[in-house]
Amino acid sequence: MGKKQRKADEALACERPDREAQIIRLSVKYLQLLAANEAGFKADPTGDSVFASVGNHIGKAKRSLIKLVGLSPHAVPCAAPLSEHELRAKVAVARALYGFQSGEELESDELIYLRFVLGEVEDFFSAASASRRA
């Protein structure tokens, strides 16, 4: 990729008016997939969970989580801090991470997500503080 193409890609990434909708949509999708996974295990009476994991809900949830990291202001050059709605949606995902629910250690993709969310929270409060001082 040439220098001009990189600059064009960065400029395009800075103009993401649909970021809020994407973040909320992916957050809802992640939470719904976890709920579907849990419901499947509750409904499967076989004891060996043969039917519970048929929909691959956890795999799909992980893909949503990775996409959420990709939309982070920390991953996109010159992106504005998250809005309150974006931050609330991402915090809801952080609170519901599968590793927290299953009583296991967080997986690497969950840890990365959590690190990004913590940075986004800090950026949100820094921006709010700067606007109050202005």
Taking only the tens of pLDDT, the chain with its 134 residues reads 566 655 655 555 555 569 999 999 999 999 999 999 999 988 989 888 888 878 899 999 999 999 999 999 987 778 899 999 999 999 999 999 987 877 788 999 999 999 999 999 998 998 888 878 86
Residue 115 lies in a domain: yes
Element (H, E) at 17: none
| CA angle centred on 26, ends 23 and 30, rounded to 5° | 135
pTM for this predicted structure: 0.80
pLDDT of residue 48: 83
Q: Which domain holds residue 58?
A: 18-133
Residue type, 18: D
Distance (Å, whole) CA 23 – CA 56? 22
Counted domains in the chain? 1
Residue 26 lies in a domain: yes
Residue 112 lies in a domain: yes
Residue 13 lies in a domain: no
Residue 1 lies in a domain: no
pLDDT of residue 17: 63
> Nearest-CA neighbor of 34 among 110, 97, 103, 109?
97
CATH code for position 120:
1.20.1050
Residue 11 lies in a domain: no
